[in-house]
Chains A and B, each alone.
Chain A
Amino acid sequence: GIQVEQSPPDLILQEGANSTLRCNFSDSVNNLQWFHQNPWGQLINLFYIPSGTKQNGRLSATTVATERYSLLYISSSQTTDSGVYFCAVGRGGKLIFGQGTELSVKP
């Protein structure tokens, strides 16, 4: 099956710093999404991005499907950005999640 690796596994930032999270996958996919799980366990969809670049406020994402990776950029981080960031990839209806990047933003 498709393998998904996220890096780094943990990240500690000072408020206002920028960061880049990476998602590598082992096979071609037609579905790639980024999620944020907040400290209360809620899963929020950030981007549906099987290819190309998208931006939403301080967050942006880029997927290079031919090279099998995706990047999530967080700029001017805030304490509310803390939590776990997951990427998920798939084909058809199957979806495989990475292990996540746990982000902690300190005031």
Chain B
Amino acid sequence: DTGVSQDPRHKITKRGQNVTFRCDPISEHNRLYWYRQTLGQGPEFLTYFQNEAQLEKSRLLSDRFSAERPKGSFSTLEIQRTEQGDSAMYLCASSPPTTLAYGYTFGSGTRLTVV
């Protein structure tokens, strides 16, 4: 297993366009998380899945954001009608059922620039 993979690494899009990011977690990990980091801030929680079920979603997440994890494997994060404020690094992480032993394993992130 090569770790958590995210695609694409970079995305530049025009305001108003839709974008979709993909995350492939470590295969043995049933938990998957999406975080967003903006300049000067720490990663901010967006949502998390246990297998295919989306169990928590940040109240800060607008309705333009949606995430899926079909069949409990890879996950996609879609942003509709992008705005300049969506420009950020989007991080995906996975973990076993408990984070008490190892914490998260993060991917390299997708950097989104909205112009």
Partners in one complex: no
